[in-house]
Structure 1
Amino acid sequence: MQAKPRFLSTVTRAVAAIALGLALALPAGLSAQPLRLAQGAASPAAALESLAIVSGGKRHVFQVEVMRTPEQRARGLMHRRYLPADRGMLFDFGRTEPVAMWMENTYIPLDMLFIRADGTIARIAENTEPLSQRTIPSGEPVLSVLEINGGVSRTLGVKPGDRVEHALFKR
């Protein structure tokens, strides 16, 4: 008879320890589902900024995360599996120079818009290949690169020479 209570108390203690560990690991009110969805999402410090692409007399507005530091630019959209249709990521290189991008650890096909300091689009790399280590060059010195969901540039009729409006670009 004593073996059963000892076994039950060991199991009860193990379950209690696991529950306590989970409670300490998850902030209050956060379930495992949001944790899975949040994995690879923007850091809380990455505030969204408004950006517009002007093409064919129309303004297409996006909310973008701006990557300003080398660490942010290196991470980019890596490990993310979803990007809302009205979102993007703007890479600020801080000076005008030739740049090259790649898609290593990036699961989402992207359009990359290479942007000059005056806000005009120099080049568009459409539907870049996810998880590729192939470099995608700017083709000329640029200040910035805007990444949006693959195919959006074509759908909106965006082309080289169109303008991107954001505080980063001089008029």
Structure 2
Amino acid sequence: MGAGTLWQRAEGADGGRAQARRRAGTVLPLTIARLDRLSRIAAASLLALALLAQPGLGAAAGTGTLVLKTASGDHNFNIEVMITNQERALGLMFRRSLPENGGMLFLYDPPQPAAMWMKNTLIPLDMVFISAEGQVHRIEQNTEPFSTALISSDGAVVGVLELNAGEAEKIGLKRGDKVVYPGLAKGAP
């Protein structure tokens, strides 16, 4: 009989089998083992739910209004703000759309070179790299969905703003234009 056997049949004097009887001491270990397995499954499930509830995994870390000041005027965008590495890694991946006048802002503190890609991103985007002075440093227009090619900031930046493709051209955005968002650049108006 194996260690996990719950029932045992003894052989009678005539060689026949006696009535089955419970083997002592085996039910409790199996119950503990089963509970241990169930508790591990429950813990893994709770961990998965907790991760899904984290900002950046379906929900924005924060939201706000960002203003791009161009020669054609001020342009307001309702943005989602990504601050942590985990949030920035997910970004707009798997999203089917970005609202009109919507965007996603990736913040970096301290300023640093940034590289983006379009892996698992379903929609074309304009990427606006923002200098520590709160100005447009570089613009990459109409990025290709699903591309794994790196899109570099070409220098240290405090943020990257992703907008719907064509938005930068539509508002006449150029290098040097002012980007206004609280906390984007310390001391920037």
Pick the TM interval, shorter chain.
Answer: 0.7 to 0.9
Alpha-carbon distance between aligned partners in 2 of 1:41 and 1:84, rounded to the nearest angstrom: 18
Identity within the alignment, %: 46
- CA offset at residue 47 of structure 1? 3.6
Q: Give the TM-score, by structure 2 length.
A: 0.66
Alpha-carbon distance between aligned partners in 2 of 1:165 and 1:49, rounded to the nearest angstrom: 11
Tell me which residue corresponds to 1:139: 154
Q: Deviations over 1:115-153 (max 9, x none)?
A: 011110010000000000000000111111000000100
1:98 aligns with 2:113: yes
Q: Which of residues 113, 128, 133 in structure 2 aligns to 1:118? A: 133
- CA offset at residue 46 of structure 1? 3.6
Which runs of 5 or more residues in structure 2 are unaligned?
A: 1-55
The two structures, once aligned, show a CA RMSD in angstroms of: 1.6
Alpha-carbon distance between aligned partners in 2 of 1:42 and 1:66, rounded to the nearest angstrom: 12
Which runs of 5 or more residues in structure 1 are unaligned?
A: 1-39
Confirm or deny: 8 A CA contact 1:41 1:80 kept in the other structure: no
Q: Give the TM-score, by structure 1 length.
A: 0.73
Cα distance change of structure 1 residues 96 and 46 upon mapping to structure 2, 3 Å threshold: closer
Structure of larger gyration radius = 2
Tell me which residue corresponds to 1:73: 88
Q: Deviations over 1:68-90 (max 9, x none)?
A: 01100000000001001111000
Cα distance change of structure 1 residues 50 and 42 upon mapping to structure 2, 3 Å threshold: farther
1:151 aligns with 2:166: yes
Higher relative contact order (CA 8 A, sep 6+): 1
